[in-house]
Amino acid sequence: MADGLSTALGILLPLIAKFNPRWGSAMSDLIWQIPLTAMSTFFVVRLVLSPYWLYEQREQAALGIEDSLRKQIATQGLQLDTRNEQLRERMRRRAICENLAALLESGDRILKLHIELRLAQPELVAAWESEVRDYIESSLNQIYAARFSSESGMMVHPGTATNSTRPILNTLHTRLERLKHFIEELCSEIDN
């Protein structure tokens, strides 16, 4: 800009002095002083303002980098939160699987006890069944509890049960099979 103004004045002032002779003597000194003054004024102004302009450019660059970093941090924070939630869910499911496996093992012991002794102990089975149902309701949901209590789609327990133990063994066998299905469903998702 300073170069353009100095050039324009350098061209216009001699033309004015040539076509207006009265101004010629006064303009002869000004012909070189005006462009030089304009050029040096712009130079000084630019020299004074250049640190501010550099600061402004660096500030804009720093703000851009800061915004970029904030976005990256926010994105990584969300990814970390998601990953933590997934890990918490896996740990919760793993604990449920371990507890269901322990309940399955205690149910297997009750089943073996009934098969070996051929004695009906409905209160033992009812207590175990209640414990399992309460755990399923508190750890999973009502749908799993309803599935646990349902006997539809399950095979009747084969074996040498007496008439007094057959209903208990069938119920116990059905509940144990349901637990095996739950463990298979929940634990296969943990490993994937």
pLDDT in tens for each of the 192 residues of the chain? 656 766 776 666 666 666 666 666 655 666 667 777 878 888 888 889 889 999 999 999 999 999 999 999 999 999 999 999 999 999 998 999 999 999 999 999 988 887 777 776 788 888 999 999 999 999 888 888 888 888 776 665 555 555 666 777 888 888 999 999 988 988 886 655
- The per-residue pLDDT for 75 is 94
- The per-residue pLDDT for 28 is 63
Rounded to whole angstroms, how far apart are CA atoms 64 and 3? 33
Note the residue count of the chain: 192
- The per-residue pLDDT for 192 is 52
Verdict on whether the full-model pTM lies above 0.85: no
